[in-house]
């Protein structure tokens, strides 16, 4: 039997060496092999004097390695049942079994062996369950760290990490809310669908910040609706992973009114940022506290990596802005000044020339030089970083319009219906870029003599309107952003920026008589670019 037992194990090892990847049939064969041979050896050998019962430990250890506590404990129970069956047949079975089994069974030895197997099963099961959780935690953490590549944009990295975490717990949507203690500002990155993940960034108002950060809720919790929509059950742990009593959470309501269940984990990102990971409609098993500690530990390890990506992304952005500002200064101090000097010299030569043909040619060159100076100035403005706060926004637009009118000779007015605005800084920067791009398009393509830039508010919306009296666009009528996309018309850069700030756009064109661009942005729930 020992020879046959070893031969069976060698066959299984050979099969594993050849096929590397094995399925459920192989695992089932291995389990049967681990239990059948020790059972036969205990039954057909002298159980009182030979320690073949120790071979049951291989089945118990295999259960601990493959699955966890329950399979390990089941293997231990099955081993004990085999020993008890052997003893029962040896004492009270038919005569044929008593003659077939060798020697009597000592009750004390039998009891000690059963206790040994049960104790070993429980101990190995606990260790196996802990090792299983540790393996899963390491595997998921490594997967998330591989997604947190420093070379990608922070929003892309965060989207990949949130999507992966959401899919692990089979949620429908996931978002991250963070607050900066030094400035008091709060942001929300949301992936509304895990089927087709796409991240949206929103700067929160003070009211939204209080609601989304769930300050009155536990550090980590899972809440699920019961049979009725008015009652919920909650499993919660504190920051150290200790279980919270039901009395501490009984007064809390479902934080997301439309969700059936929610998983929320608090975490820190560096010294200045703290936040909440929120998973909508997840599925958790019966051992919810264990799963809450699992996701809490995973986020505790991945948060520093995300913060490093955020810092690296910020450093690169600031380095790029500094380099663009340097190039813009070089353009202004060298290239533009040189072109202006050349244009002035050409003008002097044109005035001194008595040849009409040469004079007209010099005038044409002079016009080209002026156009290139304007192009370089517009490029210089586009390269310079726009750092404008809400209280500077209106003055910045007014100065931009005045400078454009002075440089190009096109009469442009800025009209503000407001004394101050409360837009997020990111939205202010994008609106400035939209105005810059619109003025450039007016100079290059419209042939307009005058234009008006107007900013105000109406019906809970911020409203930016730009009119010109040029030749208009190659279509007639009033089209929305969706309709412009359908016919592939309209300025692509402006459309992208409008989408980035969560706004809407309407373009009205009358060929030969000008165009009107109207951009609206909700005054609540503003989305910040990037």
- From first to last of its 530 residues, the chain has per-residue pLDDT tens of 888 888 988 988 888 888 777 777 777 787 788 778 877 776 666 555 567 777 788 878 877 777 778 878 888 888 888 778 777 776 776 665 555 555 566 788 778 888 888 898 888 888 888 887 788 788 888 888 887 765 567 788 888 888 888 888 888 999 999 888 877 778 888 888 888 888 887 777 777 888 888 888 888 999 988 866 577 888 899 888 888 887 667 778 888 888 889 999 998 877 778 889 999 999 888 788 888 988 898 888 888 888 888 777 777 767 666 666 666 666 666 776 777 777 788 878 878 777 777 888 888 888 888 777 777 766 766 666 666 778 888 998 898 899 888 888 889 999 998 888 888 877 888 898 899 888 888 888 788 889 999 999 888 889 999 999 888 887 788 888 888 888 878 888 888 888 878 888 998 988 888 889 999 988 854 444 33
Separation CA 405–CA 297 (nearest Å): 59
179-187 contacts, C-beta under 8 A, 24 or more apart = 179/209, 179/213, 179/273, 179/274, 179/275, 180/272, 180/273, 181/272, 181/273, 181/274, 182/272, 186/212, 186/213, 187/528
| Structure tokens, 149 | 């590549």
Q: What DSSP letter does each residue of 137-174 carry, written as one string?
A: HHHHHHHHHHH--TTS-HHHHHHHHHHHHHHHTT-SEE
CATH class entry, domain 153-314: alpha beta
The predicted pLDDT at position 383 comes to: 62
Residues in the chain: 530
CA atoms within 13 A on the CB side of 177: 19
Closest by Cα among 397, 405, 404, 401 to 378: 404
State how far the Cα of 293 lies from the Cα of 310, in Å rounded to an integer: 25
CATH class of segment(s) 386-530: alpha beta
Return the SS3 of 409: coil
Cβ–Cβ < 8 Å for 224, 291:
no
The predicted structure's pLDDT at residue 150: 57
User: Is 236 within 8 Å of 220 (Cβ atoms)?
Assistant: yes
52 and 38 in contact (C-beta within 8 Å)? yes
* Planar angle of CA 95, 97, 100, nearest 5 degrees: 110
Q: What is the CA angle 525-529-530, rounded to 5? A: 120
Which H or E element spans position 98? helix 95-100
What is the maximum span of the chain, computed from C-alpha positions, in angstroms? Answer: 138
* SS3 assignment, position 461: strand
Using CA atoms in the order 3, 9, 13, 19, what is the torsion angle rounded to 10 degrees?
Answer: 120
Tokens of residue 204, six digits:
């929160």
Tokens 């003025």 correspond to what residue?
Answer: 439
> What pLDDT, on a 0 to 100 scale, did the predictor assign at position 228?
62
HEC states along 33-83? HHHHHHHHHHHHCCCCCCCHHHHHHHHHHHHHHHCCHHHHHHHHHHHHHHH
Burial (CB count <10 Å: 0-12, 13-18, 19+), residue 44: middle
Q: How far apart are CA 272 and CA 287, in angstroms?
A: 34
41/43 Cα distance (integer angstroms): 6
6, exposed or middle or buried, with CB in 10 Å at 0-12, 13-18, 19+? exposed
Distance (Å, whole) CA 435 – CA 442: 10
Question: What is the rounded CA–CA span in Å between residue 456 and residue 412?
Answer: 17
Give how far Cα 195 sits from Cα of 145, 162, 418, 455, Å. Answer: 22, 13, 43, 39
Interstrand relation of 200-204 and 186-191 (parallel, antiparallel or unpaired): antiparallel
Computed over its alpha carbons, how large is the radius of gyration of the chain?
37
- Rounded to whole angstroms, the Cα distance separating 388 from 527 reads 17
Q: Where do we find the tokens 């190995």? A: 124
Q: Residues near 91 by Cβ (< 8 Å), separated by ≥ 6? A: 105
Would you list the domain boundaries of the chain?
2-143, 153-314, 386-530
Q: How far apart are the first and last CA of the chain?
A: 70
Which residues are 466's β-sheet partners? Answer: 453, 517
Beta-strand ranges (E) seen in 311-468 are 411-416, 450-458, 461-468
Segments in 148-260 forming alpha helices (H):
154-168, 206-213
Q: Do domains 153-314 and 386-530 have the same CATH topology?
A: no
């Amino acid at each position: 039997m020992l020879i046959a037992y070893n031969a069976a194990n060698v066959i299984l090892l050979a099969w594993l060496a050849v096929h590397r990847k094995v399925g459920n049939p192989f695992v089932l064969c291995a389990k049967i092999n681990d239990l059948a041979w020790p059972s036969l050896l205990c039954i057909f050998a002298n159980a009182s004097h030979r320690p073949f019962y120790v071979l049951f430990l291989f089945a118990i250890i295999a259960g601990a390695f493959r699955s966890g506590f329950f399979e390990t404990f089941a293997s231990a129970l099955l081993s004990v049942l085999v020993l008890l069956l052997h003893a029962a047949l040896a004492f009270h079975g038919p005569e044929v079994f008593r003659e077939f089994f060798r020697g009597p069974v000592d009750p004390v030895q039998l009891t000690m062996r059963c206790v040994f197997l049960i104790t070993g099963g429980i101990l190995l099961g606990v260790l196996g369950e802990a090792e299983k959780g540790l393996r899963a935690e390491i595997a998921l953490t490594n997967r998330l760290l591989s997604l947190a590549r420093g070379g990608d944009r922070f929003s892309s990295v965060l989207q990949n990490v949130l999507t992966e975490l959401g899919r692990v717990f089979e949620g429908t949507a996931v978002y991250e809310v963070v607050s900066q203690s030094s400035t008091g500002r709060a942001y929300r990155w949301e992936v509304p669908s895990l089927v087709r993940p796409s991240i949206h960034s929103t700067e929160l108002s003070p009211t939204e910040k209080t609601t989304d950060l769930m300050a009155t809720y536990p550090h980590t919790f899972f809440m699920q609706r019961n049979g009725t929509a008015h009652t919920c059950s909650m499993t919660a742990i504190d920051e150290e992973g200790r279980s919270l009593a039901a009395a501490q959470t009984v007064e809390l309501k479902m934080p997301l009114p439309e969700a059936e269940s929610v998983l929320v984990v608090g975490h820190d990102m560096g010294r200045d940022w703290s936040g909440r990971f929120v998973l909508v409609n997840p599925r958790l098993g019966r051992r919810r506290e264990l799963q809450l500690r699992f996701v809490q530990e995973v986020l505790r390890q991945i948060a520093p990596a995300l913060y490093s990506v955020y810092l690296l992304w910020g450093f690169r952005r600031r380095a790029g802005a500094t380099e663009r500002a340097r190039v813009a200064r070089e353009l202004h101090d060298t290239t533009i000044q040189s072109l202006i000097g050349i244009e002035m010299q050409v003008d002097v030569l044109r005035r001194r020339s008595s040849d009409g043909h040469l004079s007209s040619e010099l005038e044409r060159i002079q016009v080209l030089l002026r156009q290139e100076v304007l192009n370089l100035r517009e490029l210089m403005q586009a390269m310079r970083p726009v750092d404008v706060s809400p209280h500077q926004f209106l003055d910045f637009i007014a100065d931009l319009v005045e400078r454009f009118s002075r440089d190009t000779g096109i009469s442009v007015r800025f009209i503000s219906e407001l004394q101050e605005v409360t837009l997020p800084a990111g939205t202010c920067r994008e609106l400035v870029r939209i105005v810059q791009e619109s003025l450039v398009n007016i100079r290059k393509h419209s042939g307009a003599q005058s234009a008006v830039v107007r900013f105000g508010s109406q019906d809970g919306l911020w409203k930016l309107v730009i009119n010109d009296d040029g030749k208009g666009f190659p279509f007639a009528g009033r089209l929305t952003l969706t309709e412009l996309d359908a016919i592939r018309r309209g300025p692509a850069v402006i459309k992208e920026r409008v989408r980035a700030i969560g706004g809407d756009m309407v373009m009205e064109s009358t060929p030969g008589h000008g165009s009107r661009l109207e951009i609206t942005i909700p005054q609540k729930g503003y989305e910040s670019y990037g």
